[in-house]
Amino acid sequence: MSGIRTYTMVKPTAMRKGFAAGIMNKITEGGFKIIAAKMTKLSLEEAEAFYAIHSERPFFGELTTFMSSGPIMALVVEKENAVEAYRDFIGATNPEEAADGTIRKLYGTNIGENAVHGSDSDENAANEINFFFSDREIF
């Protein structure tokens, strides 16, 4: 059975451009309920731990340097079949390939600076939520 929660975060470039509120508004309009929110900043070591699953990828250094370059907005969102529904909602990883009207199409800059992260499985969603939030910060 698929879960009702997924983890997402507004990435540093989208934060710098002032898109956080617009993105959160769009998430809500899309039928996702925001049940946790936190503006924070990852150290390089934290970004490396968060993206450990990608540590063998050629873009790992670029990804972790970027993700620790400025504040992010960490969010937990709730909806039926959350992981898949949210990934469909934000659009393809590369904003150039993302469907019109999706968050990555509207707010993304390039494949690395693609506005938002979205968990890719229920297991990773649970781990990523725990990485950023304690139980008492989730409503």
Counting contacts by CB under 6 A, is residue 117 touching ligand CMP?
yes
Instruction: Indicate the residue among 63 and 98 with the shorter CB distance to ligand CMP.
Output: 63
Give the span between the Cα atoms of 9 and 119, in whole angstroms: 10
Could you tell me the two tokens for 125?
A: 């969603």
Residues numbered 58 to 97 that lie near ligand CMP (CB under 6 A) are: 59, 62-63, 93
117 assigned to active site = yes
Active-site position among 90, 117, 125, 128: 117
Q: How far is the CB of 101 from ligand CMP (least distance, A)?
A: 19
Counting contacts by CB under 6 A, is residue 108 touching ligand CMP?
no
Counting contacts by CB under 6 A, is residue 118 touching ligand CMP?
yes
Query: Among 17-25, 56-64, 72-80, 98-106, which window interacts with ligand CMP (CB under 6 A)?
Result: 56-64
Query: To 10 degrees, what angle do helices 122-132 and 82-90 make?
Result: 80
Instruction: Indicate the residue among 91 and 118 with the shorter CB distance to ligand CMP.
Output: 118
Counting contacts by CB under 6 A, is residue 124 touching ligand CMP?
no
Q: Which residues of the shown chain bind ligand CMP in the complex (CB under 6 A)?
A: 54, 59, 62-63, 93, 111-112, 114, 117-118
